[in-house]
A = this chain, B = another copy of it.
Amino acid sequence: MTVGAAVGDAASSREAARVRELAGELFDALRMSTGDGVGITRASYGDGESAALDIIDAKARALGLRTGRDAGANLVVTLEGSEPGLPYLACGSHLDSVPQGGNFDGGAGVVAGLIVLAGLKVSGFRPRRTLKLFGLRGEESARFGKAYMGSSALFGRLTAADLAAKDTDSRFTLGECMRAVGVDVDRVEKGQPLVDAKDIAAWIELHIEQGPVLAARDLPIGIVTGIRGNIRHRNVECIGTAGHSGAVPRWLRHDAMFATSELISHLDHHWRTLLERGRDLVITTGVVATDPREHAIARIPGRLRFSFELRSQSKETLEAFYDLFLSECRLVGEERGVEFKLDRRLESAPAVMDPGWVGRLRAAARALGLPDEEMPSGAGHDAAVFANEGIPSAMIFVRNEHGSHNPDESMTLEDFAAGVAVMSAALREAAA
């Protein structure tokens, strides 16, 4: 135990108790309000997301903080600084979720920000810089195939094609759903920023780790150094030729599933090679299906659809592997007489976290007697959007068992309180 931790022991245990109590109350309220029987569902620009914003909003007001909604219909909670003309310190995360997701993915960062702001206020601390908590909408790609819609809209980075993307039921466009919750879609459509990046001094986001690294290393928190970007196709269609499963010999087959299996196996081999050469890369085909209108056990599948995603911290690795993907599609297609049809390529750029803020967070952790382990973020986060706008950004990861995007995610309030303590200390220092 470090000297700093020993000195502040009694105070910090009272503070940790306050954090755990408030966090428990807020997480319970979010879970009860947006539970779906399996996990929680807060569709981007949908009812569950709006309900989550309302819960945080009401609690923030009850804690004496000023709240409002910005032109992107995000929740903004403000702790005014004594020099409001200075660029403000922003923190927060997103409040939407995947279907049947977990309660902490996104929500933890918003709850953390509220606890930090409320803690600073109740402690009588008067910041020089204004502190703002953002409860962002539209981070998850599950509904519209695009991630970071809320933060992208803030900086005027949504395109007409993004706004025209249909939801999973093919009922509404993103633009329609944004308008329904109060987004100023006219400005978004014109690519007008809803905030000025120069007004934001930093973006600090606490988030559960969505991978197994902290649990495997037995660490409560980690400080993020960079965020993987991605290239995606929501829908790749392998078009072969349907036929009687018994009557078409192998040499006359154009089987969409066998072709896709070969494509995936080739890519898997290339992936392994690149990892051996020290590249950073993950590949996923999360959604796969033959066509329910025509598939049958006794029919060679003439069509197979799948999603395709690659992620890397390196833009060069992303582009190089994407080239390889296109080349393998052509190779396997020619070999097997099938065609891989790609829909629109979607992408988000990798992001580097601000070294100054990484150092400040690590120092804060050490001062609290906590480990200051650096790590990359495999998952994308709104922090990448802020960072790529030139805003110094940083993230704190909290240990989480069982991954994310599922109801089994599991974060202890002790680990959460450790992350909140680091975040609070670093923001207090920067705001002073």
Contact = CB atoms under 8 A, between A and B. Distances in A.
B287 A287 contact: no
Contact of A287 (B230, B271, B290, B311): B290
A165 B268 CA distance: 38
A261 B306 CA distance: 12
Nearest to A289: B289
Contacts of A377: 246-247
A130 interface: no
A287 B257 CA distance: 9
B297 A307 contact: yes
B311 A378 contact: no
Interface string A341-385: 000000000000000000000000000000000000111100000
A137 interface: no
Interface string A297-327: 1111100101101010000000000000000
Copies in the complex: 2
B272 A301 contact: no
A218 to B, nearest CB: 13
A284 B298 contact: yes
Interface string A374-412: 000111100000000000000000000001111000000
Given A250-B272, A252-B213, A304-B288, A245 B282 contact: yes
Contacts of A213: 247-249, 252
A211 B249 CA distance: 8
Given A142-B297, A216-B252, A298-B142, A246 B378 contact: yes
Contacts of A142: 296-298
Interface residues of A, number: 72
A251 to B, nearest CB: 8
A183 B62 CA distance: 80
Interface in A246-281: 246-250, 252, 255, 257-258, 260-265, 268, 271-272, 275
Given A245-B311, A309-B297, A379-B244, A255 B284 contact: yes
Given A100-B293, A147-B298, A244 B210 contact: yes
Nearest to A297: B307
A311 B248 CA distance: 11
B216 A403 contact: no
22 contacts: A209-B247, A210-B246, A211-B249, A234-B297, A242-B405, A243-B403, A245-B286, A245-B309, A246-B282, A247-B377, A248-B282, A249-B378, A250-B275, A284-B301, A286-B298, A286-B299, A286-B300, A287-B301, A289-B290, A296-B405, A298-B405, A299-B405
